[in-house]
Structure 1
Amino acid sequence: MFVFKFLNDQLLKMQWLYDLVRSLVENVFNLDMTTRLGGSIHFFIYDIIKIFILLSVLIFAISYIQSYFPPERSRRILGRFGGVSGNVLGALLGTITPFCSCSSIPLFIGFTSAGLPIGVTFSFLLSSPLVDLASLILLASIFNWKIAIVYVVVGVVLAVIGGTVISRMKLEDYVEPFVFSNQIDGLEEQTMTAKDRLEFSNDQVKDIVKRVWMYIILGVAIGAAIHNWIPENIIAALLGQDKWYSVLL
């Protein structure tokens, strides 16, 4: 238990980074952490560094795992199962093969044209962008493991239910005929060397970080501006559990 707590605090919550930034704020900037300004500056620096470290490491790890599960291999695995068991496997496989939502349409066409049931395909496509290793670890680092695990379980259950419902509704007649008759390009499985996988993972990190860095900084800056400046009772009054619109906000 001690080892788990140590790893959780030092690797996920990065207590070492928290202490390092605190030392920077107090000893270099000569600001008191208990003041609004000191707390906000610490919040901004700590969260920016923490998020970029976690994001880079997780994207690299997930991309490396994903390199072993190209769409064609995923299709072959899912093709062995049907019914609810196929939906469950599709949802679980989607959690370890995190294809982004922008690839949903070509994957749907490719999987369906290859003969996979629509329900199984949808379970895979629902869980893939919704639940992944990055979500699990980020939620665990920000909140705790219970919330992270509940999120994953709920995501997988929703994917299974969604795929099962779609399967029971027999929606094949509403799919355009060309989907069943044409194979989509790009589903051929390619052999990658260890070097190729490392280069692929590194490229994924650069590409994604390049696209989201501005939004991360903006989001953390807003959080830092709110941190210690807006009283907690005001936030609770606006976003309390008794407010129906709190989830939407």
Structure 2
Amino acid sequence: MSVIFDFLQYQVLGMRWLNDAVGKLLAALGMVADSKVTLSVQFFIYDVTKILILLSFLIFLISYIQSYFPPERTKRILGRFSGWKAYTLSALLGTVTPFCSCSSIPLFIGFTAAGLPLGVTFSFLISSPLVDLGSLLLLSSIFGFQTAIVYVIVGLVLAVVGGSLINRFGREEDIEGFIRTINVQETAESTMTRKERLEYASSQVKSTVHKVFWYVIVGVGIGAVIHNWIPTSLILSVLGSSNPFSVILATIVGVPMYADIFGTLPIAEALWAKGVGLGTILAFMMGVTALSLPSLILLRKAVKPRLLAQFFVIVTVGIILIGYLFNFIGPFLA
């Protein structure tokens, strides 16, 4: 069984065969083996190709599943539940939305305008960019299945707990008034044919790849620099286990950035190769995907400062706690 899992992690998801093929190609072109330039070029070609392949496959799969959950149906499903069941279901529905944090906010506005409880909509908003089927497979390609599964579980817990806290301490009047005046029209839910679902999934792949392509390029470029040019000792002095504030620092660094998990993956891979703690890396990735500055600016248009601050504090504290948790349990997951 371990042989099968290793094959899936390293050859199917990790595509080690592709890395070997790129190395042989560069050698055939006369590039000096093991030089920093060669290793950087190899890292860049391998990671861009791997991420785009995984991205296309995952977005197609997730979009096909998502075609069964149009907004009208989602709102009806969520409206049937209350309390912890509603928070949990909302967080789970967030896992089948292939959105970055900015793309999740229009749905959040729609759900809020439809009259869903405040905490339920925020559980969705936290879960949607943070945890999805893609993160499970992509994290498996670097850190292994155990780590990916635990990450998804704690991400869902953060979404559920965060939504419940906001529902308890937040106030409906902290939602901007224009949202409450939106007239939500209930439309007849069309049944898509299999061909239409395939066409929808294909269009989502094209749209998403076009949207994130340059983020992937920049992320891989940064990863290549970290992997081959920045001394390990320097990185570990800042983000290593010897620095008790590494998780907090990684979270703070991630917030101003804007990317999804596909853009942060190569940076995480490079930091992991340098020996940075698992929790510190995940805190950085979660900070980027869930608390990016552009998404906070966009969310401010929908909620008032008090509610925005509550959301930011709850998610930030949750990410930091998760980071320290993974730094502690990381050795047991290897």
Matched, 1:240 2:240: yes
Report what 2:303 is aligned to. Answer: none
> Which has the higher mean CA deviation after the structures are superposed, 104-113 or 192-201?
104-113
* CA distance in 1 between partners of 2:59 and 2:207 (Å): 10
**Consecutive unaligned residues in structure 1, runs of 5 or more:** none
**Consecutive unaligned residues in structure 2, runs of 5 or more:** 254-334
Assess if the C-alpha contact under 8 Å between 2:136 and 2:148 holds in 1: yes
* CA distance in 1 between partners of 2:99 and 2:215 (Å): 21
| TM-score between both structures, scaled by the size of structure 2 | 0.67
Give the secondary structure class of the aligned counterpart of 2:116. Answer: coil
| TM-score between both structures, scaled by the size of structure 1 | 0.87
Aligned counterparts, 1:128-139, within 5 A? 128-139=128-139
Aligned counterparts, 1:60-79, within 5 A? 60-79=60-79
Q: Which runs of 4+ in 1 moved over 3 A?
A: 97-106, 112-115, 173-183, 185-188
Report what 1:97 is aligned to. Answer: 97
Shift of 1:112: 3.6
Shift of 1:191: 2.1
Cα 1:162–1:10, aligned 2, differ >3 Å: closer, same or farther? same
Report what 1:117 is aligned to. Answer: 117
Shift of 1:31: 2.7
Cα 1:187–1:214, aligned 2, differ >3 Å: closer, same or farther? farther
Report what 1:81 is aligned to. Answer: 81
- Which residue identity lines up with residue 91 of structure 1 in the other structure? A
* CA distance in 2 between partners of 1:236 and 1:12 (Å): 27
Give a deviation string over 1:207-245, Cα, whole Å, max 9, x none.
Answer: 221222223222222322343332211221232231525
- Which residue identity lines up with residue 22 of structure 1 in the other structure? G
* CA distance in 2 between partners of 1:164 and 1:187 (Å): 30
Cα 1:178–1:211, aligned 2, differ >3 Å: closer, same or farther? closer
* CA distance in 2 between partners of 1:75 and 1:67 (Å): 14
* CA distance in 2 between partners of 1:132 and 1:104 (Å): 13
Report what 2:22 is aligned to. Answer: 21
Report what 1:9 is aligned to. Answer: 10
Give the secondary structure class of the aligned counterpart of 1:183. Answer: coil
Q: Which has the greater radius of gyration?
A: 1
Identity %: 56
Cα 1:192–1:161, aligned 2, differ >3 Å: closer, same or farther? same
Assess if the C-alpha contact under 8 Å between 1:106 and 1:184 holds in 2: no
Shift of 1:159: 0.9
Q: How big is the alpha-carbon RMSD for the aligned residues of Structure 1 and Structure 2?
A: 2.4
Larger RCO, structure (CA 8 Å, separation 6 or more)? 1
- Number of residues of Structure 1 aligned to a counterpart in Structure 2: 248
Cα 1:30–1:8, aligned 2, differ >3 Å: closer, same or farther? same
* CA distance in 2 between partners of 1:216 and 1:201 (Å): 21
